[in-house]
């Protein structure tokens, strides 16, 4: 395993952590699992305005939002009512190798970016276990990722994320603002139908 670049305190980046063969196997597994947990568009709190990114989840808890109840974690898929599929073994292994946290992740949010989808600057703060890092795995088209200071949006920086990259945000970076400004269409052929997938792994409840 290569050493990560420390982009800022608490932000570690492994370029091409997963090689092309493992990326392909993982994408195949994601689409296989998504047959039982179809992608949906979450809605913003109150307005119900749909996010451009399509989502589904793996693991015990899935991130969801709609007009009525806002941002939250749910144990069941909002449309099928079924529990979420299990987190793929490659993904759990990546958490164990890079997160430095003594308990497994509970939520694996699958973000699918197609047709110019973006994600505005925000903070991940719907979790109780803020001592746990958040881990991201990028697959498919390259993206321009923006992240900022712990508080203000003023000092944000951008980096390109490529297929197979892993990012870990922990400690002082856990509540940083971040977002996806753009996805470079057809910069990769990994995803059937094109686009980018990001897996976001989170611990939601405090362990023990
Ligand atoms: C920095 N997803 O789903 S992952 C999200 O590429 C999300 O789909 C983006 O932000 C994506 O919430 C970025 C990278 C990431 C995830 C969590 C973070 C960066 C983070 C938490 C704290 C700071
Ligand atoms: Fe986020």
Q: Which two tokens stand for residue 84?
A: 């979420």
- The predicted structure's pLDDT at residue 179: 95
Tell me: the pLDDT tens digits for 9-68? Answer: 999 999 999 999 999 999 999 999 999 999 999 999 999 999 999 999 999 999 999 999
What is the rounded CA–CA span in Å between residue 104 and residue 132? 10
What is the rounded CA–CA span in Å between residue 160 and residue 183? 10
Q: What CATH architecture does domain 5-202 belong to? A: Sandwich (2.60)
C-alpha distances out from residue 87 to 34, 90, 107, 111, 127, Å:
12, 9, 8, 14, 18
Angle formed by the axes of helices 89-98 and 20-34, to 10°? 130
Tell me: the pLDDT tens digits for 89-140? Answer: 999 999 999 999 999 999 999 999 999 999 999 999 999 999 999 999 999 9
Pocket of ligand 1 contains residue 135 by CB under 6 Å: no
Instruction: Indicate whether 153 pLDDT > 80.
Output: no
Pocket of ligand 1 contains residue 136 by CB under 6 Å: yes
- The predicted structure's pLDDT at residue 10: 95
| Distance (Å) from CA 188 to ligand 1 centroid | 20
- The predicted structure's pLDDT at residue 152: 58
Pocket of ligand 1 contains residue 119 by CB under 6 Å: yes
């Amino acid at each position: 395993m290569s050493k990560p670049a420390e982009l800022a305190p608490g932000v570690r980046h492994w370029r091409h952590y997963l090689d092309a063969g493992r990326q392909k196997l993982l994408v195949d597994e994601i689409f296989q699992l998504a047959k039982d947990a179809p992608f949906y568009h979450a809605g913003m709190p109150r307005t119900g305005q749909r996010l451009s990114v399509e989502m589904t989840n793996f693991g015990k808890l899935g991130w969801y939002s709609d007009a009525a109840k806002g941002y939250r974690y749910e144990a069941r898929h909002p449309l099928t009512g079924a529990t979420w599929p299990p987190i793929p073994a490659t993904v759990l292994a990546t958490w164990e190798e890079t997160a430095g946290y003594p308990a497994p992740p509970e939520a694996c949010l699958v973000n699918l970016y197609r047709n110019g989808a973006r994600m505005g600057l925000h903070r991940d703060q719907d979790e109780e276990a803020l001592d746990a890092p958040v881990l991201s795995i990028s697959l498919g088209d390259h993206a321009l990722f923006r992240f900022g200071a712990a508080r203000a949006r003023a000092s944000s920086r951008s980096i390109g994320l490529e297929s197979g990259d892993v990012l870990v945000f922990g400690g002082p970076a856990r509540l940083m603002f971040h977002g996806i400004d753009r996805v470079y269409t057809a910069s990769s052929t990994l995803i059937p139908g094109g686009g980018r997938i990001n897996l976001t792994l989170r611990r939601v409840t405090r362990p023990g």
